[in-house]
Structure 1
């Protein structure tokens, strides 16, 4: 089965053949800064993927979906705070589109067909979600999900939630740049690095020099 070749995900095609979004925002005429907030399981892993992508200026791990009172790791890990572990990606919209970020999100960063979990990480805090900042981000994300489902790119239906971005809460300092600072940690080697290696293998031309 093809999916067994690509990190155990439900992807039915090679990541190199993953379709780009048919609807996307055009690249900006001049360099600038834009933000995207994505939830794809443990933020250590998604952060590690996006830090390598050319056009990404910074990645901050944090929490969205709940309130400030419980936006801390211990509380979020209970699965009862409504938060998701997220990353806030700051990128240059003259070099990367929002749709290009979503392509990596679906093709590499996580499995969007797993409901309220990623592998052995179980709970709503590990849900697949796009926290859209405006109507354009929502429109692009909705259209892309419809496109991928219609093309049956995955063996199961995409369960990614679209949630309005109310607030982003930065996670504790020890979570930031975690994979790079802890390369020998077992979880990083078993879960994060295969995603990074998949990015390098299939999207090497899109990485920072």
Structure 2
């Protein structure tokens, strides 16, 4: 397991016992874990190509963009999202666990499976939030303090329509030059999703004072509210 993953688990233990923020910072320092730079959201145009909003059933999407704690937390605050589950995608069933994935050689990416109502929010709108707020799509195999292929920027389209919309939007954003570097987001076919361990679910909501969450993830929630006020929901929809 990488040092950063050991640190995240150490901090999780600190949070479980309800240690105050100052004590958690000491816990953070004791494992010599760099926080990295805080990511800043980028205002981007909506996708020109999107799915039609005529579906009367729920739809599912899978996104990977660094540590799943923050990505899950962002989508849990989006109107129209009925569930957002942290997990693993891109690898085999037998390696779909935190200890294995943390090694960086399983093919898995820390991912979030988002279930949404397409009559309230479209797949393209979810992509806009994903690229703008949930992570930095120009970072190759890393996000913030986390590095490795398990933290890559990846979309796992589950339908031909999702594939077309995501591919067109990546091309649109690259052409718009809104980002300082080209997007490195990959579209991957191995989209079988495996839910993560229970302690990873609702992590942002349950551990709002943990330094990792404070520095890397809570700013994303504020940026979501600022950039997408009509899509923002104050009360997150939690995994039960």
Residue of structure 2 aligned with 1:59, choices 84, 102, 111: 84
Aligned 8 A contact 2:91 2:190 in 1? no
Q: Normalising by the residue count of structure 1, what TM-score does the alignment of the two structures yield?
A: 0.91
Residue of structure 1 aligned with 2:50, choices 21, 24, 45: 24
Deviates further, 165-174 or 74-83: 165-174
Residue of structure 2 aligned with 1:102, choices 122, 127, 150: 127
Aligned 8 A contact 1:71 1:169 in 2? yes
How far, CA to CA, are the matches of 1:147 and 1:119 in structure 2?
25
Which structure 1 segments of 5+ residues have no match?
1-6
2:230 counterpart SS class: helix
Residue of structure 1 aligned with 2:169, choices 133, 137, 144: 144
Is the aligned partner of 1:195 residue 2:239? Answer: no
Aligned 8 A contact 1:44 1:61 in 2? yes
Which structure 2 segments of 5+ residues have no match?
1-37, 235-240
Q: Which residues of 2 match residues 1-209 of structure 1 at below 5 A?
A: 7-9=38-40, 15=43, 18-28=44-54, 30=56, 32-208=57-233
How far, CA to CA, are the matches of 1:25 and 1:183 in structure 2?
35
Q: How far 1:202 moved relative to its partner?
A: 1.6
Q: How far 1:29 moved relative to its partner?
A: 5.2
Q: How far 1:184 moved relative to its partner?
A: 0.9
From the CA coordinates, give the structure whose radius of gyration is larger: 2
- Residues 192/92 of structure 1: CA separation in 2 closer, same or farther (3 Å cut): same
Q: How far 1:24 moved relative to its partner?
A: 0.4
Q: Normalising by the residue count of structure 2, what TM-score does the alignment of the two structures yield?
A: 0.79
Q: Deviations over 1:33-91 (max 9, x none)?
A: 10000000000000110101000001000000000111000110000101000000000
Instruction: Point out 4+ residue stretches in structure 1 off by more than 6 angstroms.
Output: none
Q: How far 1:165 moved relative to its partner?
A: 4.0
Aligned 8 A contact 2:49 2:168 in 1? yes
Q: 1:3 — aligned with what?
A: none
How far, CA to CA, are the matches of 2:144 and 2:208 in structure 1?
20
How far, CA to CA, are the matches of 2:81 and 2:123 in structure 1?
11
Q: 2:12 — aligned with what?
A: none
Aligned 8 A contact 1:99 1:140 in 2? yes
1:87 counterpart SS class: strand
